[in-house]
Every structure is written in C-alpha cells, then in structure tokens.
Chain A
C-alpha cells in the first residue's frame, strides 16, 4: 500500500495537486481575450501560444494534442476554450476530447459573440461562475503511487552533471520505489549517451524506438546542415564548462535515476502509470516542459546550474541547483540547493532525500518559487512550416 497525501480526485480517477481553471485559446487570435479574462478572475490560468491556424498535418495534430493534453492535465479542474471561429484547430473536437476526463468544459467563439469586448465580458462571467464551483472541491487522501513527475534540466553547467542531476536521480528512484511515474525527455540532450539509456529499456523494441527517436532528430540536424554546437551546448553551457553535446548528455541522463525504462512515448503523449518513461521532446525548456505537462505530469523537477526563472502553466516547477553562486544570486527562483554535494559535506543520498522531500511538499500544496512569482510559460513544439 503506497503512502497517501491530500490532493484533488478527478472524475476519471486521476489525482490533481492543483485545481486550476484553464483558459485555452485555440488560436493565436484568441490570446488577448484569454489574457484579459485571466487578469479579471484570480485563480485562472491562460495559455497564450503562437499556433492554431495555417497549420497542416503533423503540426495541426501536435497543436491539438498539446492543447487537449494541457486541458486534460489532472492539475486542471475545469476548462474554458475560446476560439476565434475560423481557425484549423476544431474547438468543439477539443472540448469533446477534454470532456472525456469528466471535468467541466465550456467553449465559445469570438466571431459569433461579437468581438473582443463582448467575448471578454462573457468569458469573465463564465470564469467567475466556474471558479466558484471549483473552489468548493476539497482535497482527499490519495496514494502517492498516482504521482507523475517529469525531470528536466536547463541552463546546465558542470555542476548539473556532478550534483543536481544525480541528486534528482536519487529522488526519482524514491518515487519509482513508491510505485509512481517518472518521465525524462530532451531527445537532443541524450545524443552521445543514448546507448546507456537504451541498455536500460525493458525490451529490445523499446530500445529500438529510443534509437529511432534519436536518429530522427540527428537527421533533422543534418537536413539543416548545421553544427548543433551553434545552439547546444548553449553559450551559457559553454561558459559553465560544458564543451560538447556528448558531455552535456552524459551529465543530463543521471537525473532520471537508475530504474529500467518501461516505455518510450511521443511528445505530449499520455504518461503511463508506474515506472520510468522516455518522452521524445526538444531540449528547449518551455517546449519540453509544455509537452510533459500535456502528457499529464503533476510536477516538473528542473535542475539548473546557470539559473533560470522558468515555470509552467499548469504544473509546479521545482528548481534544483548544484551551484552555490547560482543559489545565492537567484534565490528568488531556486527551490533546492544541493551544492554541498560538491564540497563533500552532503552525500548523494542526503541531497536526494532533500529533493524527494520537496517533491512531496509541493505535491501536498507547497508553492514553488516559480508559482509564487507567477511564472506560467507555455510553448508548443513545432515541426514544419506555416502556410
């Protein structure tokens, strides 16, 4: 029997550690209306984005899946979808997809309602009513093994591979031993270390899929005729002591711990329960975290050496650093300091326990620094050209 903690229970049996009213623009044209409603009604979260129109094929599907997945994320209690009325993302299909979770979903379009002013007024009234209902919901005891945690690193320096990533890996192993789920992503940042992850896949098929995802990305880089080092390692990574993508990757992978890999999933695909999974995703912080949130992660644990303020729209993001200077300089943004691993005064186990305790506290409602500061970054990964 897994340990329990207090969280929201969703109609489909999932658990939520936050109770957001999410406002989704189906298209860039609805962003401003969504933002205005968010400003009018405290407790709502809008996810403005650049997409939803002039998109075809895989990109159109990806935008739909990320929006649907974010709406389905168990930290979201109710959803308002605001369409312009002529975009390629179908707002009714989106509402139906999110309603499969059993949560309340409302949808309307700006063209039918008569423009921005009327849409903001209508949406504000709707949001107030839905927030009032949402706030009545009480937390109940739920098992810890329902928790899904994503692991991510960004703004890496040499301390990431030496301290914060191994510490997060130890915490990831603690969640796995409780029966929970961990998801690791960043296909670009396992290049050069993919053989080590592939060895841990539970079947040869899963290992083949992992190699396929890496080679698919390698081919994209080749198609651009570029040296990946132009963007990764980033200038900040290089200043911090990292010299090649291989070196960065070898430091990156320790953040998912030592468990066997149970499966490999596509960007924004639903994260299965129990065990460690790999999600195909870019290293770009916001796009990667948005894909993990759309896959149903409750929390993102984010290690950083250089320091970054990044949060996410519907999931708390816990910042962990192994760089003492960064913790001191950016304490407003950093949640956990494991830099004492580097002077030998804390063991890997002690640092891992500190991260694990923070995960449990945040699951029980403690706000992360990114939440306190209102960081709600959101961005959808794009595949091809706009029309």
Chain B
C-alpha cells in the first residue's frame, strides 16, 4: 500500500487491484472526476452523489464478485455495480463476522 496522495485529486485509489476509489470531497451525480492510477490520470463520470470518505466504483463489478480496496477483499457485491456508482452497504456485504449466515445455513441443513 503506497501512500502518495496527489494534490487536487478528487478521489484516492490505493492499489492496482482495487475496484473503488475514496472520495476526498463531496461529489455530485453527473460530475466527471479525476483519480490517478499507475496508468496515469483517469476520468470517471459519477452516476450517484458520493459523500466525502465514501467509495465510487471505478470499474464494473459483477453480482457476487469480491470487491477490493487497499488491494485486499473488503466484501462481495450483492447486486451488479456499474462504474461511477456509490459502493456502500446497499450493494456490498461483508463475508466475515457473519453469525447470521451460520445460523441460516444450519437451519437449512436441519
């Protein structure tokens, strides 16, 4: 995880494997914003408003696919997510610390 933050960037992208970038300011739907990847300055048009600190999808993510930030898995998509969408608790879910899944699976087996 390298820590070079570009002056004037709109969103922060942590690792080449990431599907998301983190908003460094409140951003509006329809805005075109910049983030820098290894390939240079990238432009993306926002589908949703993205509040400061929240994540925007910088690539399309398929239903059920692992979602990466910091180069690591932060959860999986529960719906198909388009590039430029807000990525948050409404469209991804954690895989760990899920006692509720344990009980559902147990109930199905019984």
Nearest chain B residue, comparing its CB with the CB of A160: B53
Nearest chain B residue, comparing its CB with the CB of A223: B99
Q: Mark A291-327, 1 if CB is under 8 A from B, else 0.
A: 0000000000000010000000000000000010000
Q: Are B7 and A221 in contact (CB under 8 A)?
A: no
Of the listed residues A188, A246, A323, A343, the one surrounded by the most CB atoms of chain B closer than 10 A to its CB is A246
Answer yes or no: B75 CB below 8 A from chain A CBs. Answer: yes
Q: Are A342 and B96 in contact (CB under 8 A)?
A: no
Answer yes or no: A345 CB below 8 A from chain B CBs. Answer: yes
Of the listed residues B88, B95, B100, the one surrounded by the most CB atoms of chain A closer than 10 A to its CB is B100
Which residues of chain A are within 8 angstroms of B72 by Cβ–Cβ distance? 192-193, 196, 246, 250
Answer yes or no: A142 CB below 8 A from chain B CBs. Answer: no
**Known interface pairs A243-B75, A244-B75. Does A342 touch B70 (Cβ–Cβ under 8 Å)?**
no
- CB of A354 to closest CB in B, whole Å: 15
Answer yes or no: B49 CB below 8 A from chain A CBs. Answer: no
A-B interface pairs (CB < 8 A), number: 118
A221-B102 Cα distance, complex, nearest whole Å: 10
Choose, from A121-129, A224-232, A357-365, the stretch at the interface.
A224-232
Q: Are B102 and A243 in contact (CB under 8 A)?
A: no
A225-B70 Cα distance, complex, nearest whole Å: 30
Q: Mark B37-49, 1 if CB is under 8 A from A, else 0.
A: 0000000000000
Which residues of chain B are within 8 angstroms of A254 by Cβ–Cβ distance? 1
A250 CB contact (under 8 Å) in B74, B87, B89, B99: B74
Q: Are B53 and A305 in contact (CB under 8 A)?
A: yes
Chain B contributes a number of interface residues (CB within 8 A of A) equal to: 37
Of the listed residues A224, A240, A342, the one surrounded by the most CB atoms of chain B closer than 10 A to its CB is A342
Q: Are B53 and A228 in contact (CB under 8 A)?
A: no
Q: Are A342 and B24 in contact (CB under 8 A)?
A: yes
Answer yes or no: A102 CB below 8 A from chain B CBs. Answer: no
Answer yes or no: A89 CB below 8 A from chain B CBs. Answer: no
A158-B98 Cα distance, complex, nearest whole Å: 22
- CB of B82 to closest CB in A, whole Å: 17
The secondary structure that dominates the A interface is helix
Which residues of chain B are within 8 angstroms of A224 by Cβ–Cβ distance? 99
**Known interface pairs A161-B70, A244-B75, A250-B70. Does A348 touch B3 (Cβ–Cβ under 8 Å)?**
yes
Q: Are B53 and A246 in contact (CB under 8 A)?
A: no
Answer yes or no: B58 CB below 8 A from chain A CBs. Answer: no
Answer yes or no: B83 CB below 8 A from chain A CBs. Answer: no
A245 CB contact (under 8 Å) in B1, B69, B70, B97: B97
- CB of B87 to closest CB in A, whole Å: 7
Nearest chain B residue, comparing its CB with the CB of A322: B53
Which residues of chain A are within 8 angstroms of B22 by Cβ–Cβ distance? 158, 162, 241
Which residues of chain A are within 8 angstroms of B88 by Cβ–Cβ distance? 238, 241, 243
Which residues of chain B are within 8 angstroms of A232 by Cβ–Cβ distance? 97
Which residues of chain A are within 8 angstroms of B9 by Cβ–Cβ distance? 344
Q: Are A222 and B99 in contact (CB under 8 A)?
A: yes
Q: Mark A252-277, 1 if CB is under 8 A from B, else 0.
A: 00100000000000000000000000
A228-B101 Cα distance, complex, nearest whole Å: 11
Q: Are A240 and B69 in contact (CB under 8 A)?
A: no
- CB of B41 to closest CB in A, whole Å: 14
Q: Are A192 and B74 in contact (CB under 8 A)?
A: yes
B94 CB contact (under 8 Å) in A161, A196, A228, A323: A228
A348-B94 Cα distance, complex, nearest whole Å: 29
The 4 lowest CB-CB distance pairs between A and B, nearest first, are A228-B97, A244-B94, A158-B53, A241-B53
